[in-house]
Amino acid sequence: MIQNKRQVTLGITGASGAIYALNLLRHLSLHFEQVHIMITDAARIVFATELNINLPVAPQKILAELNALCPDKQAELFVYAKENWYSPVASGSAAPKQMIICPASMGCISAIACGASNTLLERAADVILKEKGQLIVLPREMPFSTIHLKNLLMLSETGVTVMPASPGFYGQPQSIDELADFVSARVLNHLGIDNRISTVWGYQSKPDLNDSD
């Protein structure tokens, strides 16, 4: 891994919303040089259930599948097993300074909030926090319990950006992909990447609010 390349970490957990993860990965792969990926076992089940994409177990086979799913990518993708403690994302001296968890299950949120590092994904998030990097989490749950809200508040108080996968409708999206594009665009904005992936508020056609009829 070359340290001076623009790189980002993407964690994908088993919350509903695999479409958000895949859409975001495709956009990240166009704007970064390296994308470091961790996919939980539960996420693989959700990919199969929601997208009919059967991701294999072995990281190298997952990598081959993701490369095929991102045909226009500019980035080099890396996929790590959940206990690969030798991977760069496990070390404060080597990990990227930006990380997104999309979608973020409430179990994952809980583990990060209490400082658990039982898996590589949790450790990677812990590294971001201790190194004062940028962590963005996209929780996908409804409704939130009081425990969920307390855990999210704890993360927010440590500087984590809590960004629920809540697409806007003012651009009059015509497909699920456009809804996912909206969420990816907001994530990229917070990563400091200017984009026009989806309609920006104030640029769409406006209704005539003076029409008294």
Q: Residue type for 96, please?
A: P
Helices (H) and strands (E) in the chain, counts: 7, 6
d(CA 122, CA 9): 12
The average confidence (pLDDT) of the chain is: 93
Across the range 10-30, mean pLDDT stands at: 98
- The model carries a pTM of 0.92
With pLDDT > 90 as the criterion, what percentage of the chain qualifies? 87
Tell me the binding residues for FMN: 14-16, 40, 140
DSSP three-state, residue 104: strand
At residue 181, the pLDDT reads 96
Across the range 26-36, mean pLDDT stands at: 97
d(CA 21, CA 8): 14
**Burial class, 111, CB count within 10 angstroms (exposed 0-12 / middle 13-18 / buried 19+):** buried
At residue 158, the pLDDT reads 97
Residue 197 is encoded by which pair of tokens? 């992936």
At residue 1, the pLDDT reads 41
Tell me the binding residues for dimethylallyl phosphate: 170, 186
pLDDT (tens digit per residue) in 63-85: 999 999 999 999 999 999 999 99
At residue 2, the pLDDT reads 43
DSSP three-state, residue 162: strand
Residue 125, beta-bridge partner list: none
| 41-48 contacts at long range (C-beta below 8 A, 24 or more positions apart) | 41/14, 41/82, 42/13, 42/14, 42/105, 43/12, 43/13, 43/14, 43/18, 45/14, 46/14, 46/15, 46/16, 46/17, 46/18, 47/18, 47/22
Tell me the binding residues: 14-16, 40, 140, 170, 186
Q: So where are the chain's domains?
A: 7-190
Q: Between 38 and 5, where is the model more confident? A: 38
pLDDT (tens digit per residue) in 87-141: 999 999 999 999 999 999 999 999 999 999 999 999 999 999 999 999 999 999 9
* CATH fold for the domain made of 7-190: Rossmann fold (3.40.50)
pLDDT (tens digit per residue) in 82-92: 999 999 999 99
